[in-house]
Amino acid sequence: MKKFISIITVLMASVSTGFATGQMSDHLLYKGETVMIFSNPLESYFDKDHPRPDKLFRFSCTACWRGYVATWKIEKDELYLVKLDEGSCDENPKKIPLKKVFPEAKDSVKATWFSGVIRIPQGKQLMYVHMGYGSIYEKDLFLTFEKGKLIKEEIVDNTKKVIPTGDERTLDELQKLKEWEDGQKK
């Protein structure tokens, strides 16, 4: 068992330093500020009834495996998608019209499909993890949504917690990536 764990640790170190990349974050207009979020609410929209438009969300940058950067807003405790940009590493990415994904869209789309948590990192970075959204900040604000409706806000002070090792955070992010890839195969 120890040998297996050692092999996994070596593989994680190889992946985290050679093949993995921290990801561009989506953005949220929240209480008058634009903040980065370490969540991708649009991904939960895609299913057999709403196939992911891979030709529209082309992979062009290792810092954005999903192929887009979304901008969101909360209005009257409801989550809305307001903008999509290509997930390229260009300084001025091209806009993706919302109508290409949501034909009925006007200025924004109410995110009634999204039930889950949006993570907003806050404060100084305590640990950088070169994969996904694994980096740890002083605090995290967690916004919980049910069918696009904000139902809970919680702040977690990470300075008062035991911080996992970089390898542990990398393993968590690898698991999330695997789950995402498995979901793409369905």
Average pLDDT along the chain: 84
Does residue 22 carry a pLDDT above 50?
Answer: yes
Helix axes 166-185, 2-14, angle to 10 degrees: 80
Structure confidence by residue, pLDDT tens digits, 37-74? 999 999 999 999 999 898 888 887 888 888 999 999 99
Q: What integer pLDDT is reported at residue 10 of this predicted model?
A: 37
Q: What integer pLDDT is reported at residue 6 of this predicted model?
A: 39
Q: What is the pTM of this model?
A: 0.77
For the chain, how many structural domains are there in total? 1
CA pair distance 58, 55, nearest whole angstrom = 6
Flag the least confident range among 17-31, 130-144, 168-182.
168-182
Q: How confident is the model at residue 23 (pLDDT cuts 50, 70, 90)?
A: confident
Does residue 33 carry a pLDDT above 50?
Answer: yes
Does residue 115 carry a pLDDT above 60?
Answer: yes
Q: How many CB atoms lie within 10 A of CB 171?
A: 20
Domain of residue 74 covers: 2-185
